[in-house]
Structure formats: C-alpha cells, structure tokens
Amino acid sequence: MTDLPVLMPGAKKLLQSAGAPRGEGSSRFDLKLWHGAVLLVALAVALGVAEAADSTRESSWVILVRWMPFILWGQEGHWQGFSLNIIISFFAMLVGTVAGVALGLMQVSLLLPVRRGSWVVTQFFRNSPWLVLLFTIMLLLPFEIRIGDTIIPIPDWVKAVIGFSLPVMANLSEVVRGAVISLPSGQWESAESLAFTRFQTMWMIILPQCFKRMIPPWMNWYAILTMATPLISLLGVEDIVTLSRQAMEAEDNHPELLVPFFGFTLIIFFAYCYPIARYTISLEKRFAVNQ
C-alpha cells in the first residue's frame, strides 16, 4: 500500500460512492455520547414512573435486574437473547462480505453479461426492504433438508442470517465497485505496461490500495446491520426483543414495565454500537485525503 499523491482523488470519490456525506470525517452513523446519557436518563425516569404507579408491587429495578441474564443470554444451552442478535449480525456480515466482494468485482468485469447481471442483482437487493427479504427467506427455505436418511434442520436464526446477508451483500458490492473505479486509470496502464495480467493487477495493485479505504463504510454497514437485527423478533426468532416480551408476560404484563424493559434494550444496543461508530469516524479521518 502507498500514500502517493496519485491516490488522493480516489479516496474522496470512494467515500462518496460508499454513501458517506461530504466533509472530512463525516459518517452516516454518527452517534454522540450524550445520546447514551439521554437514554440512561429516560430509563431512570421510566423506572421512577413505574415505581410511583404502583408502590405495592415489587420494585421495577429488582424485576429488571432479575430478568437481565435471561434477556441477554436466554436459557442455558441455547442461543437466545442479545447474544443471538450479535451472532446473527456476525455471520450475516461474514457471508455478506464474501458475497459482496465477489459481486463487486463482477461489476467491473470486462465481460458485459457478467457486468450487467451483477449490476441487476446488486440493485435488486440494495433497494429491497430488509423485512420483506426476511419474510421471503423464512417462507421459501424449508425447516429441514432430507438427504437420504439424514435430516438436516435449518433453524430460524440461519434463515435470518441468509436474509440479512442479501442486502449487506448488495451494499458492499457497491462499496467494492466504487473503490475499484475510484483509482486513477494510470494504475491500470502502469500495470499493463509491466505485462501484468488483469488478475495480477487486481490482486497485487488495485485491491491493496482499496482495502483500507473500504474499512470505514464496511464498519458502518455492520453497525446498521446490528441495529436491524431486532426485526427477527417479528418472525418468532428468540432475540432480545422476543425475550423481553416473554419476561414482561411472566410479570403479568404490567404496562409500567414496558418502557424500562425496552429502554434497557436501547441501552444495550447503544453500548455495543457506539464504540463502532466512534472508531469508524476516526478511521474516516485517518484515511481521508485532502486535495
């Protein structure tokens, strides 16, 4: 990798093509620390209101603390709760990244059918609602696959991974495509003059220069994906939202527990995504190139 001036125009174009707003260090996912403070204050107020509404009941703080392990980890021996949200986000990002890199490189292929076909796939999944994709995958994929006498079950969380990986794949495909075409044409011409094949040029010259500039938008999309994982609760997957509802049902569905329990969910997601957001911004500033 190199920081030669010839790469300067490419970095700015890459950030813009990846969806970042104009301006150094800007981010689509820019959380501030005071946002978390507001959530903490709101949770404290909600718990205070719950206490005042019914002083004869057990303290809302005690109820929430008692159910925290269940909300975060679920039952022993099962992937449930917030841990399941993280597992789904990790595997969906892994699958989406591998497929997105391949699809993005296909978009810059010299073969017209490959380039057009990959563009259609990218635009279709990039502009499809995530919840609709999840419902579609849940309905299309069977509950189990039978191969001879062997039955292979397909749990709902695996279907969720596939459903989330599709829009991630499409958006990362655009990130890769934008990174490749943002580099000056002189890079390709220089490699051609050295008798490099297209594969050698892409693998040894183009991608190493693009890699570090793709990290900030990649982290942005991981944070967005993580915040979208509660959608799986609408499909019956036992994530943090589903277990929060089960905990409230176990406490006789007292309405004053609604805000405290879901306020705790907000805090958990903020605590997980905030460091990612701040580190993403620092990377954008670090890799930003001034013309």
Q: Where are the domains of the chain?
A: 5-142+152-287
**CB atoms inside a 10 Å sphere around CB 58:** 11
Of 33-37, 142-146, 232-236, least confident by mean pLDDT is 33-37
The conformational region for residue 32 under phi > 0 = left, psi -120 to 50 = alpha, else beta, is beta
Distance CA 222, CA 195 (A): 38
Q: Give the pLDDT band of residue 129 (cuts 50, 70, 90).
A: very high
Q: Is the pLDDT of residue 98 over 70?
A: yes
The residue ranking higher by pLDDT, 9 or 70, is 70
Higher pLDDT, 208 or 158: 158
What percent of the chain is modeled with pLDDT above 90? 43
Q: What is the pLDDT of residue 8?
A: 41
- At residue 3 the predicted structure's pLDDT band, cuts being 50, 70 and 90, is very low
Q: Please provide the average confidence, as pLDDT, over all residues in the chain.
A: 82
Between 122 and 141, residue with greater pLDDT: 122
Integer-rounded Cα radius of gyration of the chain: 23
Structure confidence at residue 29 as a pLDDT band (50, 70, 90): very low
Indicate whether 176 pLDDT > 90: yes
Q: What is the mean pLDDT of residues 196-212?
A: 85
Q: What are phi and psi of 121, to 5 degrees?
A: -60, -45
pLDDT in tens, 39-82: 667 666 666 665 565 555 677 788 889 999 999 988 876 788 99
Q: What is the pLDDT of residue 36?
A: 65
pLDDT of residue 280: 86
What's the rounded mean pLDDT across residues 170-195? 88
Q: Which fold has domain 5-142+152-287?
A: MetI-like fold (1.10.3720)
Structure tokens at 150: 């062997």
The answer to whether residue 213 scores a pLDDT higher than 90 is no
State the Cα–Cα distance between residues 286 and 16, nearest whole angstrom: 16
Place 285 in a pLDDT band, splitting at 50, 70 and 90. confident
Q: In degrees rounded to 5, what are phi and psi of residue 129?
A: -60, 135
Residue 6: what pLDDT?
Answer: 42
Compute the average pLDDT of residues 278-283: 85
At residue 182, the pLDDT reads 84
The reported pLDDT for the residue numbered 166 is 96
Of 110-114, 129-133, 187-191, 268-272, the one with minimum mean pLDDT is: 187-191
> CA distances (Å), 151 to each of 145, 161, 290, in order?
6, 20, 57
- pTM of the predicted model as reported, rounded to 2 decimal places: 0.79
